[in-house]
Amino acid sequence: MTGHNSSDPFIALRKITKGYRTGKERLTIFDKMDLTIERGEFVAVMGPSGSGKSTLLNLLAGIDRPDEGQIHVNGQRLDHMGEAARSGWRAHQLGIVFQFYNLLPMLNAAENVELPLLLKPLSARARRDRVEKVLDLVGLSGRGRQNPASMSGGQQQRVGIARAIVSDPALLLCDEPTGDLDRKSADEVLAMLGFLNRELGKTIIMVTHDGEAAAKAGRTLHLDKGVFVDQMEMAS
C-alpha cells in the first residue's frame, strides 16, 4: 500500500516488463511500457491479436504480475500485493465485463448479479435491494427471475454489466464487451457504459476491435507488439 496524493493519476504503469515462456522460448509482451490514465476517463484500447491487449487487462486486474515495473491503481500498488490481497482488492475496486458474459446458467439474472456481494458483510435483504437497484439501472427491472439462456445477447450483457457494478467499483475493465452482439445491442451496451462513465464517474478501460465502439470512448490507445503506437484524442 502506498500513500495516495489526489494529484496522482488514477492508473499509472511504470516501466512494465512482462513476458511468458513458451517451451524454451521467451515471448516478451511489454518491454518497459508506461501508461497513465486519469480518474473518470473512458479509454478504448485497440490493436491486432497478440499486441498485448489481454495481458494489459490481466495486469490491471491484478490477475498477472509484471516481471518488472510498478502498477499503481487508485492509490494502491498492485505489483507488491500477494495473491490474497489482490483478490480482496478485485472484490472491492474492480468490475469486469466479458465478451461472452460469463454468466452461470444454473442461476437466474438476479443470482448472477448477486455473486460479487456474497464476499461482502451484507444481509440477504441488503444484497437483494442492491441487486434490484442495479438491474433497474441497466434497464432490466423485473427481469431478475429470468434465466440468462432465455435472454438476448444484449440483455445477457446488461446482466454482466450489472454484476460488474453491483459492488460499486471505481474501475471497470471491459474485454470486447460488444464482440458478440449485433449493432443495435452493441450500441445500447455502449450507451450504458457511457452513462456509467459520465453520470457515476466510473473509470472504464475497454479493449475492442470495433472502431464504432472505440469512437464512444474519450480516448483511444493503439497497441502494436506491446507498444502504444499513437494516442488519438476522440470526441466522446
Check pLDDT > 90 for residue 155: yes
**Counting beta carbons within 10 angstroms of the beta carbon of residue 50, is it exposed (0 to 12), middle (13 to 18) or buried (19 or more)?**
middle
Scanning the structure block, which residue is given the C-alpha cell 498477472?
Answer: 64
Q: How confident is the model at residue 5 (pLDDT cuts 50, 70, 90)?
A: low
Let me know: does 2 contact 14? Beta carbons within 8 Å.
Answer: no
C-alpha cell belonging to residue 31? 518491454
Number of domains in the chain: 1
Report pTM: 0.90
Mean pLDDT of 195-202: 94
Would residue 7 count as lying in a domain?
Answer: no
Instruction: For the chain, give the number of residues.
Output: 236
55 vs 236, more confident: 55
Would residue 33 count as lying in a domain?
Answer: no
Would residue 134 count as lying in a domain?
Answer: yes
Would residue 13 count as lying in a domain?
Answer: no
Would residue 47 count as lying in a domain?
Answer: yes
Check pLDDT > 80 for residue 41: yes
Check pLDDT > 60 for residue 234: no
Q: Give pLDDT, residue 201.
A: 94
Would residue 191 count as lying in a domain?
Answer: yes
Would residue 203 count as lying in a domain?
Answer: yes
Let me know: does 208 contact 202? Beta carbons within 8 Å.
Answer: no
Let me know: does 211 contact 34? Beta carbons within 8 Å.
Answer: no
For residue 56, the enclosing domain spans: 39-62+81-233
Q: Give pLDDT, residue 43.
A: 96
CATH number assigned to the domain comprising residue 153: 3.40.50.300
Sign of CA dihedral 114, 115, 116, 121: positive
Would residue 161 count as lying in a domain?
Answer: yes
Let me know: does 4 contact 18? Beta carbons within 8 Å.
Answer: no
Within 10 Å of residue 21's Cβ, how many Cβ atoms? 8
Q: Which residues of 84-118 are buried (b: 16+ CB within 10 A; e: fewer)?
A: eebeebbeebbbbbbbebebeeeebbbbbbbebbe
